Structures are given as C-alpha cells and as structure tokens.
Amino acid sequence: MPGWLAATLDADTVDFAHARRTPPGGWQIGAYGTRRASEMHLEGHQCTTMLRPGEYQLLMVEAPNVPAAELKNAIRWKVKDMVEYKIDEGTIDILDIPPADPAAASRARPMYAVAARNELLQGRIRELEAARIPLSVIDIPETAQRNVAALYEGGERGVALAYFGQREGLLTINFRSDLYLARRLEVGVEELAGDAGGEGGALSRVALEIQRTLDHFDRQFRHVAVAKLVIAPTPRPTRLAEFLQARFELQVVQADLREVLAFERPPEEQAQWKLFHHFGAALRT
C-alpha cells in the first residue's frame, strides 16, 4: 500500500495512523485509531514506529569537519562520553541542521545525534515482528512533530510547535521543513487544563520556558525569524493559546489537523491529541 503507517505497540493494542501523498503536495490520512494487535493486517504496508521519551537521547553537537562518508563515525566519538553506556552498545543516527544563512555554511554549525541502546532497539523490533508489524523505520517524536509543524510553515519564517502529553510537553522549531531545535517542557496537559492563569501556575511556567527557548534560538540562529507558534490539540480545553497570544508578539495558532490534512474520517480533538505524533510520523517523504 502506498504511503507510511506509523504504529506503536502497547501490550496487545496498537495505536496507528496511515498517510499517503496526494498531488500536488497534499496528504491523505486513511485509517487511524487503536486496535488489538491480532486485528491488524499490515502485509504490504511500509511501517514506522517511534521510540518513547527516556528510550533515546537527542544530543546537539557541533558538526565535525570530515567527509560525509565519515560523519556518522565522527559523531559516535563526539557523543561517547554523553551517553550512559559504552558507545559500542548503542546505535547513533544523525539529523542535519542546514545553515539558515548560506554565508555561514562554511562555519561550524550544530547538528543532532540520536542515540539509543542496541538492546532496546532489538527488543522493540522483536515485539513488532511478533505482532506481525513489518517494520522499516524507527522514528522519534521530535521528527514526527517536525513533519506536522511543516504544514504550518509559510514564507521564509520559522514555526514553533508545542505539544503537551499527560506528563510533559515537547517544543520544536522548524525552518524550511527542517528541525532546528527541540526541548522537553516539564508540564502536562492536565496541569494546563486546570490552571486559570495565576502567577507561577502552569500557563505562566510554559510561557516563560517558551520565551527562554525563543530567546536562545534567536541568539543561535540569528538568520531565522520565528513568526508563528502553533499549539497542538489537547483532550481538554486550556487557555494556553489565548494566554500566550497576550504575551507574545508572534502569531499563536491553536492547531486543528482537519484544517491542514485531508481525512477520510475527520478525527475529534481526543484522537488528534492521542495520535498527534502518529499522524506526524506517517507524513514521511
């Protein structure tokens, strides 16, 4: 079947979403939801899964000045003292951060290294094979979120996107569909939904952390102007978008994926929130 199916396995159930490209550059979301693994029939699909927070490290390092063929090995040596295991016991992949300013292309620039234990990766592959999910790619939430944020890009400006799970949030910044920055926020959606906006509450803490991140980003990537902050769907109403719009000069948008993706069966807010990163991981080119 054309396109990608993103799936994660939890005990005997599978959360999943399938997407395929449609001309002249759109996306069609077909099946999505949660089913028992025994009900899934995925022969002929290209499947991707995502690691969970705590199962990998996303490390920003300075890109070494080596030929492209030697880059991944050079990065392994750069991060060997930044992981909690022997480097030979882990798998390292890299995410390039293209220079926003062509004049800076020859200067030192950052890039991301993604590190995970081989034992964990091999275990995940075995679990999915046992559930008859034909795995092609292992992804991470940051890159899945990047794919959704790219739908909100316009012109030569960056886009920030904030997603909040049960216990923590994820803030990413995109430019030209590339991931430039990612960081975790120690606030969950329930805490946000229960905050009326008092001093020192969850809303104020999120606003402060986003402002600090934007300030840091501006110092590090001076040639990228962030023009939009997108707030991902939530299962309960929050005042976050309204709260941030009153404090920030950039545009704040409350996301509704039905406005940027074509769905065969439009999802309600709960499904958009629960499967947010699955939709993003399925937007794979």
Q: What is the pTM of this model?
A: 0.95
Q: What is the pLDDT of residues 6-53, one digit of tens each?
A: 999 998 899 999 999 998 889 999 999 999 999 999 988 999 999 999
Nearest to 274 by CA among 8, 41, 45: 8
| Cα separations in angstroms, 192 against 141, 198, 240 | 21, 11, 7
- What is the topology classification, in CATH, of domain 153-254? Nucleotidyltransferase; domain 5 (3.30.420)
Nearest to 51 by CA among 93, 96, 98: 93
Is the model's pLDDT at 102 over the cut of 70? no
Q: What is the pLDDT of residues 229-275, one digit of tens each?
A: 999 999 999 999 999 999 999 999 999 999 999 999 999 999 999 99
Residues 120, 185: Cα–Cα separation, whole Å: 25
Is the model's pLDDT at 106 over the cut of 80? no
Q: Which phi-psi region, left, alpha or beta, contains residue 142 (left: φ > 0; alpha: ψ -120 to 50)?
A: alpha
**What pLDDT is attached to residue 155?**
82
Provide the 10 A C-beta neighbour count for residue 124.
20
pLDDT band at 285 (very low <50, low <70, confident <90, very high): confident
Report whether 45 contacts 1 (CB < 8 A).
Answer: yes
Report whether 168 contacts 185 (CB < 8 A).
Answer: yes
Q: What is the pLDDT of residues 206-216, one digit of tens each?
A: 999 999 999 99
Report whether 33 contacts 264 (CB < 8 A).
Answer: no
134-159: average pLDDT: 96
